[in-house]
Amino acid sequence: MPTVEQYLKPEVVNQIKRLDLRAQFVVRGFLQGLHASPFHGFSVEFSEHRRYSHGDDPKDIDWLVFAKTDKFYVKKFEAETNITGYLVMDLSQSMGYTYRQELTKFDYAICLAASLCYLMIYQHDPVGLITFDERIRHCLAPRSKRTQLGNVLSHLSRLKPQGPTDLSKSLTQIAAMLRHRSLVMVFSDLLTETEPVLQALRRLRHRGHDVIVFHVMDEAEVTFPFSGLVEFEEPESDQRMQVDADHCGEDYRESVRNFRETYRQECFHSGIDYVPLDTSMQFDKALLEYLLSRRARF
C-alpha cells in the first residue's frame, strides 16, 4: 500500500487516477493546525457570541462582555456570501513541455488546481473550471457539493494541451463572463506578449475579482541546463532554431529573471497574487508555502 509520502513524490504525482488522493493529502496537510481560510478579504457580518475555547484566536475575544461577566466570549462571524472560485487552465501546447521532470507544466498545473479545488469544497465554497487556448473552450459551472470535485478532476484528467493560445483575449472574455465577485486562479506558463496579459489581469482585478496567477514553467526553462550546439523547437509554430547554449545561456537566464520580475512587480502594484513556480519544485510544498503566506497577510 503506497504511503502518503510516496503519493507526494514528483515521480508519482502524474498518476491522474490518484488525483483526488493527492489533493486530499495536500489540503489536509495545510489545514492541520489552522482554523481560518486562506481566502480572506470578503465581507463578513457579526453573528453571535460563544464561549472561548482552546484554539480560538484571542483577538476575537469581546472584552466588553468579559468586563461584565468575568468570562471569556468570542465574537462569532459568518460570511455574507461564499467565495466563488474559478480554476482557469491554459491549454496551449507549450504547457505540455517537460525536459527531464516527470511532470509536464500542464500535469503540474493540474496537481495545483486539484488541490485548490479540494480546499474550496472542503470550505463549502463553490468552485468551477474554465479552460482556454485561443478562446474559452469549456466552462464548468461552480458548485460546492462534494460531487463537484469528481466532476472537475474527471475533466482535468482528460485534457491535453495542444495548439496556440491567446491568453489576454481569454482573460478578457472571462472578465466579461463573471457577474459576481470571484476568486480567479490562473494556471499558465505566460509564454506570450506580457503587456496585453497584464492589462487583462488588471481588468479582472478592477472588476473586483481576487486574482492569483500561478506562473508554471519547466525547470529547464528557468535554469537552462544545456550546453554546446542545441536545436530548439517552438511548440506552437513548429519553428526550429539552433543556438550555442554555452554562449547564450546566461543572457537567457537573465531574460527569464527579468520576465518573472516584471510580472511580480506589476501584479503587486495591481493587488494581484503572483506565484512563480517551476516543475522541479514539489508542488504540494510550493502550494502550502504560498497559502500560508497568503493567510499571514490577512
232 shares a domain with 107: yes
In a domain? residue 209: yes
Read off the pLDDT band of 31 (50, 70, 90): low
Is 226 in contact with 249 (CB distance < 8 Å)?
yes
Crossing angle for the helix pair 19-31 and 147-158, nearest 10 degrees? 130
pLDDT of 126? 93
pTM over 0.75: yes
Taking only the tens place, the pLDDT of each residue in 90-145 is 999 999 999 989 889 998 998 899 888 888 888 888 999 999 999 999 999 999 98
Q: What percent of the chain has pLDDT over 70?
A: 76
Taking only the tens place, the pLDDT of each residue in 35-76 is 456 665 443 444 556 677 666 677 777 787 778 788 887 765
Mean residue pLDDT across the chain: 81
The boundaries of the domain holding residue 249 are 4-34+82-297
Q: Which residues contact 244 (CB under 8 A, 6 or more apart)?
A: 228, 229
pLDDT at position 32 over 70: no
What value does the mean pLDDT take over residues 224-243?
A: 76
241: left (phi over 0), alpha (psi -120 to 50) or beta: beta
17 shares a domain with 145: yes
290 shares a domain with 222: yes
126 shares a domain with 172: yes
In a domain? residue 39: no
Long-range Cβ pairs for the range 284-288 (8 Å, 24+): 284/8, 284/22, 284/25, 284/26, 284/29, 284/111, 284/115, 287/26, 287/30, 287/112, 287/115, 287/116, 288/26, 288/29, 288/30
pLDDT at position 20 over 50: yes
pLDDT at position 229 over 70: yes
In a domain? residue 195: yes
pLDDT of 275? 96
Residue 161, CA distances (Å) to 107, 133, 149, 297, 298 in order:
10, 9, 21, 34, 35
The count of structural domains within the chain is: 2
Look at 17-26, 29-38, 198-207 and tell me which has the smallest mean pLDDT.
29-38
Q: What percent of the chain has pLDDT over 90?
A: 42
What value does the mean pLDDT take over residues 281-289?
A: 84
128 shares a domain with 52: no
105 shares a domain with 9: yes
260 shares a domain with 183: yes
Reported as half-sphere exposure (CB side, CA atoms, 13 A), residue 149 has a value of 22
Reported as half-sphere exposure (CB side, CA atoms, 13 A), residue 45 has a value of 4
pLDDT at position 78 over 60: no
Crossing angle for the helix pair 105-122 and 147-158, nearest 10 degrees? 170
Q: How many CB atoms lie within 10 A of CB 42?
A: 16
Read off the pLDDT band of 15 (50, 70, 90): very low
173 shares a domain with 255: yes
68 shares a domain with 136: no
Taking only the tens place, the pLDDT of each residue in 158-203 is 888 988 899 999 999 999 999 888 999 999 999 999 999 999 999 9
Is 124 in contact with 144 (CB distance < 8 Å)?
yes
CATH of the domain at 14: 3.40.50.410
238 shares a domain with 94: yes
148 shares a domain with 30: yes
57 shares a domain with 200: no
